[in-house]
A and B are shown apart, each in its own frame.
Chain A
Amino acid sequence: MGRLSWQVAQIAEVRPETRRVASLFLDVPGWDGHQAGQHVDLRLTAEDGYQAERSYSIASPPDGRRLELTVERLEDGEVSPYLVGEAHQGDRVELRGPIGGYFVWRPELGGPLLLVAGGSGVVPLMAMLRHRAATASRVPTRLLYSSRTLEDVIYRDELERLAAADESLTVIHTLTRAQPTGWQGSARRIDAALLKEVGWGPEQRPLAYVCGPTRLVEAVASDLVTLGHDPFRVRTERFGPTGVQ
């Protein structure tokens, strides 16, 4: 019993998701499970003993067989260029987790759910959507997801399948940098007008989870409160200055 400690995990599979994003499937002996929305701290140690530590959101649902982390490669990063590009099956990394009781969703928390993601901010929200599907929850849910281009959309096929199989789930994409020919969807950064158009009204008291680069998260959270949403029902997870949406 006691505080969280570091443990060794082994990479069982690396699956490319987009040009800059990959999912790592990890075997973690004695993993006790987690909640949708939680993260882990991951630590790499160089041969000279230098250590670098970063937080990564868990993508797999609580009942997942393996722990899945989906990681975006940051060119000037210390950890992600290894995880996306160099890491191979059989490699070992150190983990501490699961962490966080704030940015989590369980079916009994209800909804309606408003999930807002920028780029790889979709990862913890995907754990929520997967958990929601696995528990056959029909909590009305809308995911508003901002990506640079269609090729940068993480989990694109799976999101399409989930939405097609479930009338209570709607996925709305906005592509901020380039749009394919004939794109009917939104093509601008998430703003108050877009949130008002596709999100739930404040009178429906949605539970909102917003995740992505710090600027996007703060702009969306501020817009939601301005639109009349209860600040205590808007939960945020800022990724810092990672990526540009």
Chain B
Amino acid sequence: MDERDLRLDGNHAAGMLSEVFQFEMSSEWAGCANCGARNQLGAMEAYAHGMGAVLCCPGCGQIVLRVARGGGRWWLDLRGMAWLQLDEGAWLLE
């Protein structure tokens, strides 16, 4: 098994992101700050483990989003994201 086998879809991080955002994030669109490609978060390449997840641009591989949980806090690193579009219709209701 190599690193490639561990790759998942952004979809897998959707549960974790739903604890941070009030939107269903896997269907939301974002732009890569490196190459400009626009993709839904669910279509991005993801690496995930218990503490967090990393989403990468499927076009150029650049890290677009990092999210981690620890010590009673959530950490978000969005340096690789040029923009994020949130659809009002994707508001999560309980």
**A residues in contact (CB < 8 Å) with B:** 1-5, 39-41, 51-53, 55, 96-97, 99-103, 213-215, 218, 235-241
Report yes or no: B18 in contact with A102, Cβ–Cβ below 8 A. Answer: no
Give 16 pairs: A residue, B residue, CB < 8 Å, sorted on A: A40-B15, A96-B15, A99-B18, A100-B11, A100-B27, A101-B26, A103-B11, A103-B26, A103-B42, A214-B5, A214-B6, A218-B7, A235-B42, A236-B9, A240-B6, A240-B7
Report yes or no: B8 in contact with A238, Cβ–Cβ below 8 A. Answer: yes
Report yes or no: A241 in contact with B21, Cβ–Cβ below 8 A. Answer: no
For the complex, count residues of B whose C-beta is within 8 A of A.
29
| A97, B21: Cα distance in complex, Å | 14
Residues from chain B with Cβ under 8 Å of A96 in the complex? 15, 18
* 0/1 string, B40-76, CB within 8 A of A gives 1: 1111000000100000000000000000000000000
User: How far does the Cβ of B93 sit from chain A's closest Cβ, in whole Å?
Assistant: 6
Task: Out of B5, B41, B42, B43, name the residue touching A240 (CB < 8 Å).
Answer: B5
Task: Out of B9, B20, B27, name the residue touching A101 (CB < 8 Å).
Answer: B27
| A4, B21: Cα distance in complex, Å | 9
Report yes or no: A2 in contact with B92, Cβ–Cβ below 8 A. Answer: yes
| A51, B42: Cα distance in complex, Å | 25
| A99, B5: Cα distance in complex, Å | 23
User: How far does the Cβ of B80 sit from chain A's closest Cβ, in whole Å?
Assistant: 19
User: How far does the Cβ of A51 sit from chain B's closest Cβ, in whole Å?
Assistant: 8
Given A1-B93, A3-B21, are A214 and B27 neighbors across the interface (CB < 8 Å)? Answer: no
Report yes or no: B92 in contact with A3, Cβ–Cβ below 8 A. Answer: yes
- Identify 15 new A-B residue pairs, CB closer than 8 A, beyond the known A99-B14, A102-B42: A2-B92, A3-B20, A99-B11, A99-B15, A100-B26, A100-B42, A102-B9, A102-B10, A102-B11, A103-B9, A103-B11, A236-B43, A238-B9, A240-B8, A241-B1
* 0/1 string, B1-43, CB within 8 A of A gives 1: 1001111111110110011111010110000000000001111
Report yes or no: A3 in contact with B15, Cβ–Cβ below 8 A. Answer: no
| A197, B15: Cα distance in complex, Å | 37
Is B90 at the interface (CB under 8 A from chain A)? yes
| A97, B92: Cα distance in complex, Å | 11
Is B94 at the interface (CB under 8 A from chain A)? yes
* 0/1 string, B75-94, CB within 8 A of A gives 1: 00000000000000010111
Report yes or no: A53 in contact with B50, Cβ–Cβ below 8 A. Answer: yes
| A242, B42: Cα distance in complex, Å | 20
Report yes or no: A3 in contact with B18, Cβ–Cβ below 8 A. Answer: yes
| A236, B44: Cα distance in complex, Å | 10
Residues from chain A with Cβ under 8 Å of B93 in the complex? 1
| A2, B42: Cα distance in complex, Å | 20
Residues from chain A with Cβ under 8 Å of B19 in the complex? 3-5
Residues from chain A with Cβ under 8 Å of B1 in the complex? 241
User: How far does the Cβ of A238 sit from chain B's closest Cβ, in whole Å?
Assistant: 5
Residues from chain A with Cβ under 8 Å of B10 in the complex? 102
User: How far does the Cβ of B89 sit from chain A's closest Cβ, in whole Å?
Assistant: 10
Residues from chain B with Cβ under 8 Å of A2 in the complex? 22, 92, 94
Closest to B24 in A: A101
| A236, B40: Cα distance in complex, Å | 12
Residues from chain A with Cβ under 8 Å of B21 in the complex? 3
